Amino acid sequence: MFGHVDAGVMHIRPAINMRRKSERKKIRIITEEVVKLVHSYGGVLWGEHGRGLRSEFGPEIFGEVIWEQMCNIKNAFDPHNQFNPGKVAVPNRTFSLSTLETTTRGEYDERTPELVTLSNATRCDGNGECQSISTSDSMCPTYRATDDPSQSPRGRAEVLRRWLQRIEQTPSRKNASFIKKLFNSGNEDDFNHEVKHILDGCIACKACATECPMQIDIPAMRSQFYAFYFTRYLRPMRDTVWL
């Protein structure tokens, strides 16, 4: 459990490894039990971040009377089900609601190499705590300075996730020859360079590792990425100069 618990609002995130099919099957089992528990207390099951996966439980949660009124409102303003189709309500019974059987990011993550540290990028659930504008939060200095989403732990984790999806196997730790590194470094369209550029802005303050609910440790992942990156590309001259 994480997040605020004020006014009876409880944020929970089951510890499920979404990379594994056997674990993903638990989603429906857990959700159905949670719906029963919440309903027994007169509560409401809700979901954040616009996925709409709890929509199929609407009739059970709200009751048929309220549910029908919600569908009537949907029909009045969106009769063709064009806005957020399948989420919250439907204009009529010919349309279906979103279900728990939708494709998840975990299914894509399952195809990526499982690297001890870098794979933690897939744990980011997009809660956005790192992009808070509260002055009492210390995460993330580079995002606050630039106001650039890619310079937040969430942005960097997403870029690393995309990088993992692009590589077909675990990157080699064997150093390429100087000529090969020189050739690779000159390829400006290489996505690896874009990833490095985004990670270069991290000042390794470790605020993300302690304040993020999912403990997304960008400095640790950046170090492992650099270890792979510099087996293929030349290091900047400043890295080899002792002052």
Q: Are residues 36 and 155 in the same domain?
A: no
Q: Point out the domain boundary residue: 83, 106, 129.
A: 106
pLDDT of residue 4: 64
Q: Point out the domain boundary residue: 58, 87, 106.
A: 106
Q: Are residues 2 and 122 in the same domain?
A: no
* Alpha helices, H only, the chain: 21-24, 26-40, 58-62, 64-77, 105-109, 141-146, 153-166, 178-185, 191-200, 207-211, 218-229
pLDDT of residue 167: 77
Q: Are residues 72 and 166 in the same domain?
A: no
pLDDT of residue 135: 76
Q: Are residues 130 and 218 in the same domain?
A: yes
Q: Point out the domain boundary residue: 106, 127, 144.
A: 106
The DSSP call for residue 77 is H
Give yes or no for residue 118 having a pLDDT over 70.
yes
Q: What is the pLDDT of residues 146-171, one digit of tens each?
A: 999 999 999 999 999 888 888 766 66
Q: What is the pLDDT of residues 189-236, one digit of tens each?
A: 788 999 999 999 999 999 998 888 888 999 999 999 998 899 888 888
pLDDT of residue 150: 93
Q: What is the pLDDT of residues 26-76, one digit of tens each?
A: 989 999 999 999 889 888 887 766 566 788 888 888 888 998 999 999 999
Q: Are residues 181 and 205 in the same domain?
A: yes
Q: Are residues 122 and 229 in the same domain?
A: yes
Q: Are residues 165 and 230 in the same domain?
A: yes
Domain holding 147, by residue range, is: 112-240
Structural domains in the chain (count) = 2
CB 59 within 8 A of CB 45: no
**From CA 130, how far away is CA 161, in angstroms rounded?**
17
pLDDT of residue 11: 77
**From CA 17, how far away is CA 63, in angstroms rounded?**
33
3-state helix, strand, coil in the chain (%, to 5): 50, 0, 50
